[in-house]
Structure 1
Amino acid sequence: MNKLLSILLISCVALFSAKGQIIINEYSAANYDTYTDNYGEYEDWVELYNPTAAPIDLNGWALSDKVSNPLKWIFPSSFIIQANGVALIYSSGRDELIGGNAHTNFKITQTKGNEVLMLSDAGGIFQDSIRVLPNQNSHTRGRETNGSAIWSVFTAGSPDANNLGAMQEYATTPVFSQTSGYYGAAVNLTINSPDPNITIYYTTNGDEPNNTSTLYTTAINIANTTVVKAICYSSDPTIPPSFIDYHTFFINDTHTIPILSISGNSGAGGLLDLLDGGWGSSGLEPEGTIEWFDKNGILLDKGTGEFNKHGNDSWAYDQRGFDYVMRDQFGYNYALQDKIFTTKSRDKFQRVIVKAAANDNYPFSYGGSGAHIRDAYVHHLSQIGDLRLDERSTSSCIVYLDGNYWGVYEMREKVDDHDFTDYYYDQDKNNLQYLKTWGGTWTEYGAPNAQPDWNTFVNYVAVNPMVNQANYNQAKSEYNMGSLIDYFLLNAYVVCQDWLNWNTGWWRGIDPDGDKKKWRYTLWDMDNTFDHGTNYTGIPSSSPNAEPCDPSSLNNPGGQGHVPIWNEMLTNQEFHDDYINRWLDLANGPLSCSFMIHILDSMVAVIDPEMPRQITTWGGTYVGWQSNVTDLRNFILARCDSMNSGFIACDTAITDIFDVTVEIIGVGEVEMSNGNFINDLNTPWTDQRFGGINLPFEVKSGTFDHWEVISSTPYIYDPIVDTLVLDLQGNVTVKAHFGESKGIVFDVSPSGTTTSININGTAVNVFPHSAPLMVGENITLTPTIDPLYAFDSWSSDSNVLSPNTLTEIISFTVTYSDTIRLHLYQKPTIVYNIVPAGTTTSIDINGVNIAVFPYSETVFIDDLNTLSPNIDPNYSSGSWSSDYNPLLNGNSINNSFYGIYSDTLTLTLSTVSAFIAGNDSVCENAKNGAKVSIYFTGFSPFTFNLSIDGINQPPITTTINPYIINTTVGGNYTLVSYNDANEFGTVSGQAMVTILTSPIAQFNAQPDSMTILYTTTQLVDKSVGDITSWQWDFGDNTIQDFTSSPYHTYKDSLG
């Protein structure tokens, strides 16, 4: 079979409009650098074709990339495709139709494997679809010619033009006999292809192979760590070369941390040129591959993309950092798919930073003074401490370049990236204002409005005194004061010498439905810290005793107003007190001496086993590196000792430092300042706080009754309001009194679902969830169950659930402490498929028409599911098969079942069939039998099995059509199975044969006794047996009679 047609039938089914209207004609998700949209961007696109003789307006039509959401993007206004014309739709995510340029609200990701382009008309009626398959860089997929039923690969696409130059599907990717990973000895690698007429080429130096590379003829012996890449070329010029496969074989190389193997073309402009070249290589963006392994050498993911420079001063080092961008447009992968960072849930990364500790590199930085940890340490510390900043998550790793060991690196999460803001805050690239200062300031996202909008805010603060609370409230509505406080506190604490005029990024989201809509700060390079590196910012002191208020003495580094804003905000009492309290919140937690040293020691312990080989490769000594780490450790200890006393010295509002004790009476929880939670389990709780600063308290849970403040200094406060603010003047004890309650634990089994429980109007979605509830309180529980699960029952250890445990919505009166658990069962998943693929068959599943297969859904175990196929006219019938769930209607094409188990139901279509017919009878002693006819479709010979009254008979093979059976066996005849010369077919119909008892002819003659001449006689039938007909011959050449008891007149008779 033609390869194009084969792929079409198997996986690229296009469903055409019954009305012959607009169809999908071509698409590209590999538009890396070929065709720009009206913004000058290389976006995905879909070409639509109007095969009719009249223009069609797509106003109200819908385009989608998800079967589950066919109306994902709707044309919001008129968009006309001329008769026999084509039009482009950009899949950019911009969600607009302006000036004839249509942009959907989604992008196409060709390497996910689960996207289907779907087109529906203004009535929501499906018109056309095509499954998205990967293309190589800058290739497209489209119909062979405009409107053709055959889909092809185009190595040179034709957006907004007639489809020309169709190619067959790519050659099959080469098959390696071994996969990437650790090997304790040399490997003999074989490479094969299932395709005919294929030539395989390969490389072992990281280069991308082509038909000038080494010809594969025999097994490759790999004795040292090597990256092997291979490609297949077909002798058929209409079959494009295959995708490249590649594997890194680590021969006698093992590590204690994850490994990143990178590779790319050698020579000028290649990957090695980028990472091992001169300063001129900084502008290179070579393409290449990555493979990500865990510490045991297990491959976690791989892909292709491009590398680029990362770092500036550190670019002078032999060991350089780099950025990597996975490119879905290349057709291999759309993101590095792994939970790389233990501090984050994210598991897909298109962009990553790979750093060799930057300016803290050992042995290259500042005369060998690096500890190889500073930047990652500060970011990790901020992240663990939950500072209100965006940090580059970190994971230490080993890098190999083209199979060569390249040293100890850090995989880092890129924060100045729209994928980051979109994942964590639902702010995509079209809804960002992102500014960055590194020597100069530029707009990363949001031009042209981002910089003017920021300038407007800076000017507002400059001309409107923040001591005025109304002005401050306005500023606070636009600017994240917590982020500003944490940014200045952290940089002051680590005595950063490289911020504000360098390495400073700040942003806000402008999507009203997203998070982080106020200006906030990100962390950038934090390697010039703890008295390491050059003082680019000009801070007054980089010693451990530098005053924490030093940032206020800076003028306006970078010219973006950060310090002027800071100083103006400090004039506001609320902001000032939040700042001072926040310092002590951090000083007693993540920025305490013990915690900071613990984090440093744990991070150093991770890279310590790997540093000897780093040093062997790049220079230095292990003792020298350990000495640098000790210097950093000692600086941190000295710095955290000096900070508290430094605040008292530099902030005149602080009067002293006092002890604050918080006690919880009863069951409840109080938050003091920011993040200090005191409850009945950790009470009493004592902390040190600055005097002269307003210290806030807030009840977070429990049935609050009143506050009690015990101090030698009287305070005026409202005891029954659940918030409390004290202008601290001395040591104080704050007691929070709560009423009697019982601890109730709410849980969901099994864990890990998206189920939530509404508890008296409050939705809870993290379990187990503990809540102190007042005795006697009536609680109503209303679950919102994960769509993949269904309700089973409730259980309770102590309290009585009403009306019963089998009711989905229940209530109870709090009497005892308890664990109340919602029990769910996972709904079975039913997958429907049609064999063969590529027909126009659809299935009405519970009344809903489904036309794209395979199709899956979850069902309740007690629901009856009905199936009614609409079979492609090219097929005669079909039969159902099921792996587990019984089909209730036997072999019927219209069937039903209960989905008790997860299952695959397959409808097998057939163009081959046999039909049995007949309704005949025969006497038991007859010479000729009754007739049963069997009609066939298909190619002879025909073989069938039949049953008589349910008893299977021997198979019969014939070339006669129809085939007639002469039989004297009575009963109900049905076909059991049938196959022609090529395949099994369907069977239908039935025949009936009735066996009659042989008759015995008997009759009485009853003449007319009153007549003398021409007497008439009746012959009265007295026969026995199953008589079906009569035929009388009177022997006088008169006409025969066919009635059962005839009358006959004999002309010559006498009475």
Structure 2
Amino acid sequence: MRLVSPFLTVLFCCCTCWLPAQPSLVLEPAPGVYRTDQDVTILGGDAGAVYFTTDGSRPSLRSDRYTGAPIAVGRSRVIRAAVFAGTERLAEVGGSYLIDEPRSPLLTLSVGIDPARLFHPRTGWFLAGDNPRRPNWDTHREHPIHVDFFESDGSSVYNGTVGFRLFGGTSRTHPQKSFSLSARKSDGNQKIKYPLFGPDGLDEFRFLVVRNGGSDWGRSYIRDALMTDLLADPSWDLDLQDSRPVRVFLNGSYWGVYHLREKINPRFLADHHRGVKKDSLSLLEHEMTAKHGTTREYEQLRNFVRDHDLSQPQHFSRVREMMDVDNFQRLQIAQTFFDNRDAGGNIRYWRPDGPQGRFRWILYDVDQGFGLHRDSGWTANTLELLTAPDGPVWPNPPWSTLFQRKLLVNPVYRNRFVNRTLDYLHTDFSTEAVTESIDAAVADLEPEMPRHLRRWEQREYNWRYHIDQLRRFALYRPEHLREHFRTYFRGGADRHVEITASLGGYVVLNDNLQVGTDGLSGHYFAHYPITLRAVPQPGYHFRGWEGAPVDSLQLQLDLTDDRPYILKADFEPVVHPNAKSIIINELCPKNDRSGDWLELHNRGTTPVDLTGWYLVDGSDRRFVLPPTVLRAGGYLVVCEDTQAFRATFPRIRDVGGDLPFGLNKREDRIGLYADDNSYVNAISYQLPATADSVFTYALALPGLDNSRHRNWVREENAGTPGAANPGYLQSATMTSQRFWMRLGIGLAALLLVVVVRALRPE
């Protein structure tokens, strides 16, 4: 078998090297955003006849044939061209030319599609058609189109062919329709490779949704995106779709403001959950409809919840094994605050396959919240809506409230539901925080909205009225919801609570929020004790509480006494005795063959047990080292991919992995801490942008201070994992050379003296 593969490779190369290169077409000048008219030339059509269109449709042999004369582009349009050899389509190209369009701070999406596909009187997807029972826009068919993405500065960030499909439910009735984009191999593009949602989001996509605002169309246009953004803090632990406003052009015509979103499907879940595979999960919607996978495990969960008393600890524990209860609870907190009138049936939830898999819920389609249908929506008692046992088919049928009703009888769940809701009323759902998010969303859209409103014959005062409605909801909702909770859960009187932490740690409040040096001040209910847990940061120890006569890391604070409760967690730095011995000695943030790795070195004179020690990166991701005793003068390599590393460096013995994070090739911080949380070693680095090639970053000499950037050397090679750094070896070689050189010079001088004396006459 080892002989066959090289033989086949050589045979393939010999056979294919004589084949002619595949033809390609180029538009000159490049597609883009221009202030003036453009004359476009199609290059590269020597292999056949070139045909082109300027209306967004895909070229065919019936299209205009290109003769070599420039195509005059005097207004915004999409040019598409194809080269044919007879009837065979050899290559295609497309591009959007946006001419003298008003500048916009938004991302621009330009779509080129066959006009008849959307606007044919009988079959066009954007029209009702002849069948009143099933209008054309109810189609689920997909059609290949050309798209361009341009950043706000006019730079082109993507150009290609993708699949186009209408998206949404009742929102399809709006004249401005939502649609989805699918980058499929069959269309010539595997992925849209660009960080559309910024540096913190994904940098490549197969599926996207271009959303018209859903039920919020013709109103504020920001409801769904706003509510999603309010849950961005990691404490929410919800699956959220990234979002970004975008202006759209359709075959060169301005089509208004949309929201570009990630699409919820198995790939979305795999992309956002390490270790989850898109083909090994179940994704469900509504009552129990499988979009992917099976309903079997969910049916078991539902039946267990329905048939058991969850106030019993053993039953509650079993439910926690089957579903992520905290994830579900936080979704309920959000839906309750939002007063989402469509929260009952319009849900998405999923479970990874395997015995340890648990169901999780996804925030989805919340634009019927924040008082969409009521000017005074902030007064709504959504607790009653989402816990009703006998609601109508819409919006809250009994099956949709089953889990929340049954879980609330459990005292642990109930206490956390109450206290965590109050947590968020002091933070993410405070009037100040929500108003700030509203203002930011409005600022993003405001420059583009006048043109959008003119396009869809809407009035600006109506848009601003609905924005003000959101602001009123932000102002009044917290106090109304607090009173609903006080009444429903018999919370009792308010108790003023202040919590803060010194440098070097934070407090976890109600197993929910992280409270640091900025502190938290708010009111909780007298009948619901709160929990506090002090968490020292790496390199610190917990000293104790100010304001509580206990020294334990965790405490439960009873609020029955009518007084203020003011507590502070104190922390102090601590350094491990071996801090000068065990160092981070070399790292490789760029090697596609081996994966990322770093090297620890014991420059001391005694072995050190590293059991329980851990690494932390700049994003606070942690990795506990495998049980290891690092000998004096020894090295331990910690790698991202053990299998790939061993294949690249088969002779290295002391290897640990797999790191759950890679090393940033531009800048990062890596810290090493002992099992008692004490500081051992840390480095921070900032490297200049360079070519995408293999390199390592190594301490120049073992005795140098590795916290100083000047003591490190960038090496344009694969490095020396598990051995002395190149600088060490070079230094040792130079030292040896200097020794022998000095010895040689000394001997030569001595010999010269002897010779001179021997030749001197008596």
TM-score over 0.5 (shorter chain): yes
Deviation, structure 1 residue 148: 11
Equivalences for residues 316-331 of structure 1 within 5 A = 316-331=173-188
Q: 1:291 aligns with which of 128, 143, 148?
A: 148
Map of 1:188 onto structure 2: 39
Output the CA distance in 2 between the equivalents of 1:770 and 1:170. 51
Equivalences for residues 40-59 of structure 1 within 5 A = none
Map of 2:703 onto structure 1: 804
Map of 2:567 onto structure 1: 734
Output the CA distance in 2 between the equivalents of 1:637 and 1:317. 31
Residue 377 in structure 1 maps to residue 237 in structure 2: no
Map of 1:216 onto structure 2: 66
Residue 509 in structure 1 maps to residue 352 in structure 2: yes
Residue 349 in structure 1 maps to residue 187 in structure 2: no
Output the CA distance in 1 between the equivalents of 2:152 and 2:679. 53
Deviation, structure 1 residue 274: 2.4
Deviation, structure 1 residue 469: 1.4
Letter in 2 for 1:642: H
Residue 442 in structure 1 maps to residue 281 in structure 2: no
Equivalences for residues 684-703 of structure 1 within 5 A = 686-701=521-536, 702-703=540-541
Map of 1:207 onto structure 2: 57
Output the CA distance in 1 between the equivalents of 2:552 and 2:259. 50
**What's the secondary structure of 1:359's corresponding residue?**
helix
- Per-residue displacement from partner, 1:529-584 (whole Å, max 9, x unpaired)? 2232499xxxxx95534254541125476768442221221122211111112112
Is the 1:337–1:348 contact (alpha carbons within 8 Å) kept by the matching residues of 2?
A: yes
Q: Answer with 334-343 or 292-301: which moved more.
A: 334-343
Q: 1:409 aligns with which of 254, 258, 276?
A: 258
Is the 1:260–1:397 contact (alpha carbons within 8 Å) kept by the matching residues of 2?
A: yes
Q: Answer with 642-651 or 264-273: which moved more.
A: 264-273
Map of 2:81 onto structure 1: 230
- Per-residue displacement from partner, 1:66-111 (whole Å, max 9, x unpaired)? xxxxxxxxxxxxxxxxxxxxxxxxxxxxxxxxxxxxxxxxxxxxxx
Deviation, structure 1 residue 249: 0.7
1:328–1:667 CA distance, 2 compared to 1 (3 A)? closer
Map of 1:393 onto structure 2: 242
Q: 2:157 aligns with which of 300, 308, 318?
A: 300
Letter in 2 for 1:761: W
Is the 1:335–1:349 contact (alpha carbons within 8 Å) kept by the matching residues of 2?
A: yes
Output the CA distance in 2 between the equivalents of 1:805 and 1:219. 65
Q: 1:546 aligns with which of 381, 387, 400?
A: 381
Q: 1:761 aligns with which of 609, 613, 618?
A: 613
1:417–1:664 CA distance, 2 compared to 1 (3 A)? closer
**What's the secondary structure of 1:392's corresponding residue?**
coil
Letter in 1 for 2:541: T
- Per-residue displacement from partner, 1:631-660 (whole Å, max 9, x unpaired)? 2221232212312222112212x1222122
- Per-residue displacement from partner, 1:440-467 (whole Å, max 9, x unpaired)? 64101113xxx12111111212233221
Letter in 2 for 1:672: L
Map of 2:656 onto structure 1: none
Map of 2:506 onto structure 1: 669
1:742–1:724 CA distance, 2 compared to 1 (3 A)? same
Map of 2:24 onto structure 1: 173
Letter in 1 for 2:207: R
Output the CA distance in 2 between the equivalents of 1:327 and 1:768. 38
Output the CA distance in 2 between the equivalents of 1:742 and 1:490. 42
Map of 1:150 onto structure 2: 15
Map of 2:367 onto structure 1: 527
Output the CA distance in 1 between the equivalents of 2:177 and 2:41. 35
Q: How many residues align?
A: 634
Is the 1:703–1:774 contact (alpha carbons within 8 Å) kept by the matching residues of 2?
A: no
Output the CA distance in 2 between the equivalents of 1:862 and 1:741. 31
- Per-residue displacement from partner, 1:424-448 (whole Å, max 9, x unpaired)? 34322221111101xx64101113x
Is the 1:393–1:412 contact (alpha carbons within 8 Å) kept by the matching residues of 2?
A: yes
Map of 2:215 onto structure 1: 359
Q: Matched residues, percent identical?
A: 18
Residue 315 in structure 1 maps to residue 172 in structure 2: yes
Larger radius of gyration: 1
- Per-residue displacement from partner, 1:579-618 (whole Å, max 9, x unpaired)? 1121122111111111111101110111111111112111
Residue 592 in structure 1 maps to residue 430 in structure 2: yes
Map of 1:273 onto structure 2: 124
Output the CA distance in 2 between the equivalents of 1:352 and 1:531. 28
Equivalences for residues 866-905 of structure 1 within 5 A = none
Is the 1:790–1:824 contact (alpha carbons within 8 Å) kept by the matching residues of 2?
A: no
- Per-residue displacement from partner, 1:806-837 (whole Å, max 9, x unpaired)? 8x9xxxxxxxxxx666965444259xxxxxxx
Equivalences for residues 742-757 of structure 1 within 5 A = none
1:756–1:734 CA distance, 2 compared to 1 (3 A)? farther
1:673–1:339 CA distance, 2 compared to 1 (3 A)? same
Output the CA distance in 2 between the equivalents of 1:267 and 1:725. 67
Map of 1:461 onto structure 2: 305
Residue 251 in structure 1 maps to residue 95 in structure 2: no
Map of 1:476 onto structure 2: 320
Is the 1:355–1:411 contact (alpha carbons within 8 Å) kept by the matching residues of 2?
A: yes
Q: Answer with 187-196 or 745-754: which moved more.
A: 745-754
**What's the secondary structure of 1:176's corresponding residue?**
strand
Output the CA distance in 1 between the equivalents of 2:313 and 2:145. 55
TM-score (normalised: structure 2):
0.74
Is the 1:170–1:242 contact (alpha carbons within 8 Å) kept by the matching residues of 2?
A: no
1:305–1:169 CA distance, 2 compared to 1 (3 A)? farther
1:499–1:748 CA distance, 2 compared to 1 (3 A)? farther
- Per-residue displacement from partner, 1:994-1038 (whole Å, max 9, x unpaired)? xxxxxxxxxxxxxxxxxxxxxxxxxxxxxxxxxxxxxxxxxxxxx
Output the CA distance in 1 between the equivalents of 2:264 and 2:531. 33
- Per-residue displacement from partner, 1:691-713 (whole Å, max 9, x unpaired)? 22231111211322444654xxx
**What's the secondary structure of 1:273's corresponding residue?**
coil
Is the 1:201–1:214 contact (alpha carbons within 8 Å) kept by the matching residues of 2?
A: yes
Is the 2:32–2:98 contact (alpha carbons within 8 Å) kept by the matching residues of 1?
A: yes
Deviation, structure 1 residue 280: 1.8
Letter in 1 for 2:114: N
Letter in 2 for 1:335: K
Letter in 2 for 1:354: V
Is the 1:356–1:408 contact (alpha carbons within 8 Å) kept by the matching residues of 2?
A: yes
Map of 1:613 onto structure 2: 451
1:665–1:307 CA distance, 2 compared to 1 (3 A)? closer
Letter in 1 for 2:40: L
1:783–1:487 CA distance, 2 compared to 1 (3 A)? closer
Deviation, structure 1 residue 387: 2.1
Letter in 2 for 1:443: A
Output the CA distance in 2 between the equivalents of 1:477 and 1:804. 51
Letter in 2 for 1:312: G
1:663–1:505 CA distance, 2 compared to 1 (3 A)? closer
**What's the secondary structure of 1:427's corresponding residue?**
coil
Is the 2:54–2:79 contact (alpha carbons within 8 Å) kept by the matching residues of 1?
A: yes
Deviation, structure 1 residue 169: 5.8
Q: 2:410 aligns with which of 568, 572, 578?
A: 572
**What's the secondary structure of 2:482's corresponding residue?**
helix
Map of 1:722 onto structure 2: 553
Is the 2:614–2:673 contact (alpha carbons within 8 Å) kept by the matching residues of 1?
A: no
Output the CA distance in 2 between the equivalents of 1:604 and 1:397. 13
